[in-house]
Amino acid sequence: MIGVSTDATSVRAQLENVHASLREELPGIERVAVAVYDDRTDMLETFIHSTDGDAPFALYEAKLADVPSLAELARSHEERIIGDLEALRRSPAHHTRRLLETGYRSSYTKPFYDHGELFGFVFFDSQQTHYFTDTVVRHLSLYSHLISLLIINALTPASMLRSAVDIAREMSHLRDEETGAHLDRMSRYARMIARTLADREGLDDEFVEFVFLFAPLHDVGKIAVPDRVLLKPGRLTAAEFEIMRSHVDKGVAIIDKMADSFGVGLAQHIDILRNIVQFHHESFDGSGYPAGIAGRDIPLEARIVSVADVFDALTTRRPYKEAWSNEDAFALLDDLAGKKFDADCVEALSSNRPWVERIQDRFRLTHGAFEGFHEAYLEDL
């Protein structure tokens, strides 16, 4: 059972290779970093970096609108050279201050695009002032192009897979809560938990980002659950419960089939996805399904997703219940910490209340859709 993708072909290892060959020509470039952009939230997230010595930051996020200099680059498609970061010491930008504190003195930044849409930024940093001369920048344009292709290729199969699932879901007339705002929120709770646990668990940005991308697919197997069970308004019989629970095995089968057709681009990260789908109904004390595994035998990505998923189910209105307050939902999760849920994941969520509220503000609760499934799910707690 694997949690974190550490194989040599991971995107991070590829970036480190590019950085190493770049340094043979341009030894003054001590850091290369990539941030990816989410146009739905206007957030910029550090994705990966390759750094000699101390990293100025990992797992950093900022709203693009709050960083006007980058927003301007995104609009103009221009690159930016800062010859002496010292001149910006009084800048309010956290990003700039951290760079200075860790010894960086000059930087080169380039936005990159996919089909005309902003995909992210590549940052090159040097500890020498005025390192980015015309000659250096000419060299770098090739490398920044290569790096942006690497990132787009790494992330596109994941988003293609998500689109494929969205289409399949629409075709199968699955009209439950697993569309829309629930997935927006729960995937962000999952990312927040992963990010909070990152230091302790040794998770890199790449792992955190893939948990976010794949969390919405946890219930993909429900596509194969018949409507008479999935959409049944009342209580499920024992036999219907069994059918409902089969969504886990059906989900794993769907993922394996899709992984085959999407090929190697996704292969490196498919374990994160498969673990989420396969183990999101396991319980920390071993009382869950389908395997009945316990504790840290349950892959971390699945422990994270189950907390994120249930928290959102509790705090949203369902046909059979009002939305619980965050306080009440945290209290229940606390009660179940160490039993149903990993206590560290619960704590990572409940210790970040302002962050939780920001996610709730950004992705307003939607009402009115038929939401039968989580009734069964909650009864199952």
Q: Which stretch binds Fe ion (CB under 5 A): 9-17, 256-264, 305-313, 320-328?
A: 305-313
Contacting residue, 204, 301, 309, 347, with Fe ion by CB under 5 A: 309
What is the token pair recorded at 223? 């596509």
Q: Which is nearer to Fe ion, 206 or 219 (CB)?
A: 219
> What is the nearest approach in angstroms of Fe ion to the Cβ of residue 81?
46
CA distance 265 to 153: 7
Q: At residue 228, what is the residue type?
A: R
Q: Which stretch binds Fe ion (CB under 5 A): 61-69, 112-120, 212-220, 263-271?
A: 212-220
> What is the nearest approach in angstroms of Fe ion to the Cβ of residue 316?
10
Q: Is 116 left (phi over 0), alpha (psi -120 to 50) or beta?
A: left
Q: Which is nearer to Fe ion, 113 or 289 (CB)?
A: 289
Q: Tokens 């969390």, residue? A: 215
Q: H or E stretch including 60?
A: none
- How many chain residues are in contact with Fe ion, going by CB under 5 A? 2
Indicate the Cα dihedral angle 256, 232, 213, 74, nearest 10°.
130
CA distance 207 to 6: 9
The answer to whether 302 and 249 have CB atoms below 8 angstroms apart is no
- By the rule CB under 5 A, 184 interacts with Fe ion: no
- By the rule CB under 5 A, 45 interacts with Fe ion: no
- By the rule CB under 5 A, 371 interacts with Fe ion: no
Q: By CB neighbour count within 10 A (0-12 exposed, 13-18 middle, 19+ buried), where does 109 fall? A: buried
- By the rule CB under 5 A, 219 interacts with Fe ion: yes
> What is the nearest approach in angstroms of Fe ion to the Cβ of residue 50?
36
Q: Which is nearer to Fe ion, 309 or 347 (CB)?
A: 309
> What is the nearest approach in angstroms of Fe ion to the Cβ of residue 346?
17
The answer to whether 105 and 91 have CB atoms below 8 angstroms apart is no
- By the rule CB under 5 A, 204 interacts with Fe ion: no
Given the rule CB under 5 A, which residues bind Fe ion?
Answer: 219, 309
